[in-house]
Amino acid sequence: DYSRCLDAAKMSDVVVVCVAASDGMEEAVDADGHALVASLRAQGLPAVVGLVQGLDALPAKRKADMRKATARYFSSEFGADTKVCSLGGSGDGGDGGAAAADAGAFLRAVVNVRPRPLSYGQHRAQMLAHGSGFVPSAD
């Protein structure tokens, strides 16, 4: 639901945009994803952190290519200062601690990102509703 995503982004200081590692950016971000990104950019975005999931499932060469492609995508869509992290591994310790290191790097990126002030929120009250309804008048 686009409107819920847009409302949540209005209230957020940081937005994490996730993509799944695949054979290319065409498959990682589908048409709905492109439409949502365009809507978010038109509305105005707070700080963004990019997250790539599943890089560990790719061969080494494809992993490097996907990492470069996602870095270019996030830079072009959200600005050159956008941090891009990856998460992979099952967390069972079979990856030599890489999953814990990836998670630590992601958390550092989220914590250390500098929130951007939005002109949208400076002049309007902010509230995120869990539900709404319309009650017609009796007359």
Q: Which domains does the chain have, with CATH numbers?
A: 2-114 (3.40.50.300)
Q: What is the pTM of this model?
A: 0.73
Q: What is the reported pLDDT for 75?
A: 92
Helices vs. strands in the chain: H and E counts, helices first? 6, 3
Task: Tell me the pLDDT band of 89, cut-offs 50, 70 and 90.
Answer: low
Question: 34, 68 in Cβ contact below 8 A?
Answer: no
In the chain, the N- to C-terminal Cα span, in Å, equals 34
Angle between helices 31-43 and 2-11 (to 10 degrees): 40
Question: 29, 19 in Cβ contact below 8 A?
Answer: yes
Per-residue pLDDT reduced to its tens digit, 42-64:
888 889 999 998 888 888 888 88
